[in-house]
Amino acid sequence: MTTLKTADDIRVAIDALELDAVASYFDNDDDEIDPYVVCEGVSIAAFNEYVGDGEGLRVPLRFLALDDGRIVIVELPTKVHESTAAEFTSKFLRAAGNEDEVAKGGSMTARRAANPNKEADATFGPKRTTLNRTPAPAPRTVTDWVTLAVEVGRSQSWLLKISAPGTQIRYALYDSTTRPHPTIRPTARGTSRHAAAGAAVNVTFDMRRILSIPANQALPNGVNAIAIVDLRTVMNLVIRSLR
């Protein structure tokens, strides 16, 4: 029988990690790699108590996950990871048409009752001043209203996965009202490997959903109805930043 861990037990386990060894684990060039298991027997309450507001954690919350009672590390900060998140953000905002109308939340912590706290690499949504938007869903306010969350990593099927050298990228899109899980089918998915003249790997985003604007209402000035991001371009820009 597994003894349930407390927040202090989790802190001891993470403080005991040799982060160089964890980094070496994720440096593996294999396309498929499992998350790094820190400890087991963790409840949602203990996990949320440990992560708190996400500040001052030895391993940032956006690199942690609670998976069936196990705390796992999905990746550690790398140039490839950070570049992928930054390049995606840049291309998405450009594709939106008028980036000034899109709220950028960065790696904010998301909290849902009875769920582990989460922290994405990039978040987007409506602004307080967004023309024709619907009210924020209770108990949300515009401040914590996220309609698109982007998670980059090396493991877990629902991440925007990019290989250690940045030469393969894989994506999966999920409805923002669901919690990604291996048993839940994504609305779209795809994989691309680096090629000098490869075809575009376009991912489309409905800006009415991103900005929560009904179909019978006008979009803000300059905002495109559909934002198209070519993940091959994102991958190529990441690779160029490494050489």
pLDDT in tens, 1-19: 356 789 999 999 999 999 9
Would you say residue 211 has pLDDT above 90?
yes
pLDDT for res 216: 95
Would you say residue 146 has pLDDT above 70?
yes
Contacts of 68 (CB under 8 A, 6+ apart): none
For the chain, what is the mean pLDDT?
A: 82
pLDDT for res 176: 53
The separation between CA 134 and the C-alpha centre of its own chain, rounded to angstroms, equals 24
Greater confidence, 143 or 8?
8
* Range from 147-151, 225-229, 232-236 that averages highest in pLDDT: 225-229
What CATH fold (topology level) applies to the domain 79-240? tt1808, chain A (3.90.1570)
Q: What angle do CA 118, 122, 8 make, to 5 degrees?
A: 30
Contact by Cβ (8 Å): 231, 201: yes
Would you say residue 123 has pLDDT above 70?
yes
Would you say residue 90 has pLDDT above 70?
yes
Share of the chain above pLDDT 70, in %: 74
pLDDT for res 1: 39
pLDDT for res 115: 75
Please give the average per-residue pLDDT across 31-54, as a whole number: 88
Would you say residue 190 has pLDDT above 80?
no
Burial of 96 (0-12, 13-18, 19+ CB in 10 A): buried
- What is the number of alpha carbons within 13 Å of residue 138 lying toward its C-beta? 0
pLDDT for res 37: 92
- pLDDT one-digit tens code per residue, 149-186: 887 766 555 556 566 555 566 666 665 555 555 555 65
Please give the average per-residue pLDDT across 217-228, as a whole number: 97
Q: Please report where in the chains the tokens 């690779």 appear, as a residue.
A: 239
Would you say residue 92 has pLDDT above 80?
yes
Greater confidence, 148 or 3?
148
Greater confidence, 231 or 195?
231
Domain map of the chain by residue range? 7-73, 79-240
Contacts of 220 (CB under 8 A, 6+ apart): 98, 101, 130, 131, 132, 211
